[in-house]
Structure 1
Amino acid sequence: MHEARRGSRAGGPARPRDRRSVRSAAAAALTAVLLSIVSALTAPTAAHAGPAFTNPLNSTGPDPAMTWYNGNYYLMTTPWSGPLTMRRAPTIAQLKSTAPVAVFDAHAPGRDRSIWAPEFHLLNGPNGPRWYIYYSAGNGDIESQRVHVVESAGLDPMGPYTYKGMIFGPNNWWGIDGSVVTINNQMYFTWSGVPTTLWRDSDPHIYLVALSNPWTVTGPRTAISAPTHAWERQGTPMNEGPVAIQRNGRTFITYSASACQGPDYKIGQLEYSGGSVLSASSWAKKPTPIFQRNDAAGVYGPAHHAFFKSPDGTEDWIVYHANDTPTQGCGSTRTTRIQRIGWNADGTPNLGVPVSTSTVLAPPSGEPAGPQNSTWRLQSVNFPDRYVRHVNYDVRIDPHVSPAQDSQFRVVPGLANSNGHVSFESVNFPGYFLRHSNYDFVLAANDNSTAFRADATFRQVAGLSDASAVSFQSYSFPDRYIRHANYLLRLDTIGTATARADATFRLVS
């Protein structure tokens, strides 16, 4: 859970320069995998228009919550201090390079420290549908942590927001990691709390209580899970971060178990079995975890999570945080990752195993083409006043580009490979693309040759120096990346921290 815890243009088109031999791409064979009846996953036909991507979505991002709404993904993570922030973008690839925007900063003393785990929901309140953000905060002492609520002014997830209060009202309940679930037309609040009034005296449990409105609890609370299994007690006995996922009339609450400081932070599952929602006996705990470390993939402590639907509503996805090594702990090293989940033949969720950060993933089904076929500028990460531009058909990074169209490109599906690859077409010279030649870059007309298509195609990956930005790997020379050197654009191998920064960009609309 949290660290506090245990140019101008002249002349005609450039002539193609002498070429090296281009490696032909090997055709990838699709293998049909038969799933057993017990663990068979439903897999509806999906339409993936957006570019492929790799995890993580940022360079730091604990306790993520994410949704798709009205044409965009929205993502929040723990800010620790300062404003609650949100990222917004129409594709996962763009979300990775989008800067967070402050959406609420009116933190009064006593709730201005240890700001953790913001989670946002579109709920019907007294004034109609509004967005509500639930987050944990206090005065810096973990014993003061409580869950607070802010409400949007309208239907824009980016706000503005106003503070509604501490959700527990007069109850002296310790609590973090709040979420909301509606069961049988009644809203309930679920969170991680303790049986006594002091966190340090007890093991955190998963609680439920009814809500009279999105910011007010009503009636008694019920503990529906305690860390009783050995796998829930590794490092520290812990149940926290509960979130609901519902399908075919069934309600599951999944939660994080064991200590977030260690690699064995994992996810467990509860299911509502009928009867009184506020009766502990109405909730059945799965005796084994459903998502945990994957040493072979280099993923440790994968938990504190949420779920979201693909843009077309046909797929379920999990967003979670994890570390790259078993010793990184419960701080800012945790990054946000996502992957598609499935459903077992018995109707229970199948989260699979956490995938490595080198695994290329298709975007959620129904995602728009995003940066592909749209107009973008490539901003240097280490020289943020400079943008990739063409001048006399050469390519470099410059500030104050005039005319602006010299730094604008249509990011289109890769000419040689459209699966997770892109090409850059000039806005003011349609049909001319960025291509490498003798490891230098030029703007040249597409002659539709195999060599041209390969030299103008790049795989978009997480930024080499900043995972929240992007880098571009050559299709024809996969050991080389687009980078700037002395402000000129080149195709180079990347061996130093400076080179990694020079090869990292942001897509700016």
Structure 2
Amino acid sequence: MATLDRRALIKGAAAAGIVAGLSTSALTRSATAGDGDRPDAEIYGVPSVNPLIEQRADPFITPRTDGMYYFTGSVPEYDRLVVRGAPTIAGLGGAPETVVWRRPASGRMGGHVWAPELHRVGGRWYIYFAAGDSDDVFRIRMYVLESPLPDPRDPAGWTLRGQIATEWDSFSLDATTFAHRGRRYLVWAQSEPEIAVNSSLYIARMDTPWSISTKPVRLTTPTRSWEIQGFRVNEGAAIIVRNGRVFLTFSASATDARYCMGLLTADAGADLLDRASWVKTPDPVFVTNERTGQYGPGHNTFTVAEDGVTDVLVYHARDYRDITGDPLYDPNRHTRVQKLYWHRDGTPLFGVPVGKGGPIVRLSPVDSRAALVHHDGSALLVRRDVRELATSQFRFVAGAAGDGTESIQSVDLPDRYISVVDGTVQLTATATAFHRLRGPRGIALRLAADPGRYLTHDRGRLTLGPAAGDRTRFLLS
């Protein structure tokens, strides 16, 4: 997708998103406020319930444009292009959907319609998509629609600009475009005739939003074991520029539970048309997770949350492994979003595809803000260096009694909760109820069964104790 620039996206204070079904408001952090500066001190970078949108694969969410996010993705029927919009990412889940283009009844583009992306270039909207023909639905080629209207949901504005021509008239799809250092690029997947793989990834410079002006450069072809499961595939590229580097994610293998994401990295000052500028991470960066019940995560894009600073990973996955028939025609690849984290060395940290439920948070004691609560087996610890992202991610789950209490659920072990067992704080299958108390410096978590005791940070562990200032206050991020 287009390069994400935080400075261009920060416009005033952050918006607050309210998530249906939760007992508390999901608030984003102000672009200028520091931790604990807000009265409630609650920070949800991505205030969304997962899945965000059901039965929409290959999802794409634009950066916030004139106060609106716009979404498009593949529909199970593969017969039309749809757009929906909302002021918040969470709002996209219930937003009405407009059909902006339908495939013709026969002939060119009358077959499968796949993987649309919506981009704002030069004051106009463009949809990049792939389509087959009515007599051969898999004769897939790349096409571009253009609209001069400010609202991409208006079907009246869309006209076909035509096919994106490349060096070969062969299977090609998943076009994405981005601007970097004053130049616009196209990245796409294609079957190069002389290479015995289903698709590789290519890059070229663009001279118009619908044409390339340089010879394609092959960035990556599927060779590693995780890229050739079922099919030999590299596809679905997405770009994010951060920390002096250009990161390009892509998807690999068949579209079932073996589908996964890989990563290419280039220096931001390098020649992006030089294959030697790019380094492929040896292992996949985002894969199926049995514990969270998410299968085949991939075909991702990126956007930025309402706070203007929090990077968001957008992707699809299924809630089950076993598929009857061709996975391409299984309709239940759902759109999901979650916060994208960053390693200290400036590289992206994806974690695991989170399961169903509300926003994800990490907890830091106010008296040790650089540290995080995480679990190591059943033990709950507070450490600065947490190796696995998912062990430090939690959800607040509303109490079934509707009494305002909440339990704190582990993300990577969703059948486990922060629990009090015989006076000891552990991660167990028994959910303990807490009252979440907001204050000017973080939140306090008071034991519902004993109002005199709180979750407390005590020398690297979670314990119980009386109210004790910053030791019993936590920041959420």
Which of the five TM-score ranges fits, normalised by the shorter chain?
0.5 to 0.7
Task: Measure, in 2, the Cα distance between the counterparts of 1:285 and 1:51.
Answer: 28
Contact 1:44/1:314 (<8 A) preserved = no
Task: Measure, in 1, the Cα distance between the counterparts of 2:167 and 2:234.
Answer: 24
The correspondence for 2:96, drawn from 99, 107, 112, is 99
Contact 2:112/2:138 (<8 A) preserved = no
Task: Measure, in 1, the Cα distance between the counterparts of 2:46 and 2:84.
Answer: 18
Contact 2:70/2:84 (<8 A) preserved = yes
1:122 aligns with 2:116: no
Give the CA RMSD over aligned residues: 3.4
How much has 1:49 moved relative to structure 2? Answer: 8.7
Do the aligned partners of residues 96 and 171 (structure 1) sit closer, same or farther apart at CA in structure 2, a change above 3 Å counting? same
The correspondence for 1:187, drawn from 184, 193, 209, is 184
2:52 aligned residue = 57
* Correspondence list, 1:68-147, <5 A: 68-79=64-75, 80-105=77-102, 107=104, 109-124=107-122, 129-140=123-134, 141=136, 143-147=138-142
Task: Measure, in 2, the Cα distance between the counterparts of 1:190 and 1:136.
Answer: 13
Task: Measure, in 2, the Cα distance between the counterparts of 1:243 and 1:51.
Answer: 19
Task: Measure, in 1, the Cα distance between the counterparts of 2:321 and 2:166.
Answer: 39
How much has 1:26 moved relative to structure 2? Answer: 12
* Correspondence list, 1:204-243, <5 A: 204-243=199-238
How much has 1:454 moved relative to structure 2? Answer: 5.1
Do the aligned partners of residues 26 and 169 (structure 1) sit closer, same or farther apart at CA in structure 2, a change above 3 Å counting? closer
Task: Give the TM-score of the pair, scaled to structure 1.
Answer: 0.58
Tell me which of the two structures has the higher relative contact order, counting C-alpha pairs closer than 8 angstroms and 6 or more residues apart. 1
Task: Measure, in 1, the Cα distance between the counterparts of 2:179 and 2:171.
Answer: 23
2:349 aligned residue = 350
**CA offset digits 1:359-398 (Å, max 9, x no partner):** 5447xxxxxxxxxxxxxxxxxxxxxxxxxxxxxxxxxxxx
The correspondence for 2:266, drawn from 272, 278, 284, is 272
1:150 aligned residue = 145
Task: Measure, in 1, the Cα distance between the counterparts of 2:145 and 2:310.
Answer: 29
| Counterpart code for 1:58 | I
**CA offset digits 1:284-314 (Å, max 9, x no partner):** 1011111111110000000011000112311
2:336 aligned residue = 337
How much has 1:279 moved relative to structure 2? Answer: 2.0
**CA offset digits 1:420-442 (Å, max 9, x no partner):** 98xxxxxxxxxxxxxxxxxxxxx
**CA offset digits 1:129-176 (Å, max 9, x no partner):** 211110010115355211110111133232421111101168524311
Higher gyration radius (CA):
1
| Counterpart code for 1:98 | A
Task: Measure, in 2, the Cα distance between the counterparts of 1:216 and 1:266.
Answer: 29
Do the aligned partners of residues 106 and 230 (structure 1) sit closer, same or farther apart at CA in structure 2, a change above 3 Å counting? closer
Structure 2: runs of 5+ lacking an equivalent: 1-21, 25-32, 36-40, 362-395, 407-477
Task: Measure, in 2, the Cα distance between the counterparts of 1:307 and 1:44.
Answer: 25
Aligned identity (percent) is 34
Secondary structure of 1:113's aligned partner: coil
How much has 1:54 moved relative to structure 2? Answer: 2.1
| Counterpart code for 1:84 | L
Task: Measure, in 1, the Cα distance between the counterparts of 2:44 and 2:213.
Answer: 45
Do the aligned partners of residues 104 and 142 (structure 1) sit closer, same or farther apart at CA in structure 2, a change above 3 Å counting? closer
Task: Measure, in 2, the Cα distance between the counterparts of 1:248 and 1:336.
Answer: 27
Do the aligned partners of residues 347 and 53 (structure 1) sit closer, same or farther apart at CA in structure 2, a change above 3 Å counting? closer
2:429 aligned residue = none
Mean Cα deviation higher: 169-178 or 142-151:
169-178
Mean Cα deviation higher: 96-105 or 111-120:
96-105
Contact 2:173/2:188 (<8 A) preserved = yes
The correspondence for 1:303, drawn from 298, 307, 319, is 298
Count of aligned pairs between the two proteins: 327
Contact 2:239/2:246 (<8 A) preserved = yes
| Counterpart code for 1:121 | H
Secondary structure of 1:244's aligned partner: strand
**CA offset digits 1:21-60 (Å, max 9, x no partner):** xxxx999xxxxxxxxxxxxxxx985976999542112221
Task: Give the TM-score of the pair, scaled to structure 2.
Answer: 0.62
Do the aligned partners of residues 191 and 169 (structure 1) sit closer, same or farther apart at CA in structure 2, a change above 3 Å counting? closer
Do the aligned partners of residues 169 and 301 (structure 1) sit closer, same or farther apart at CA in structure 2, a change above 3 Å counting? closer
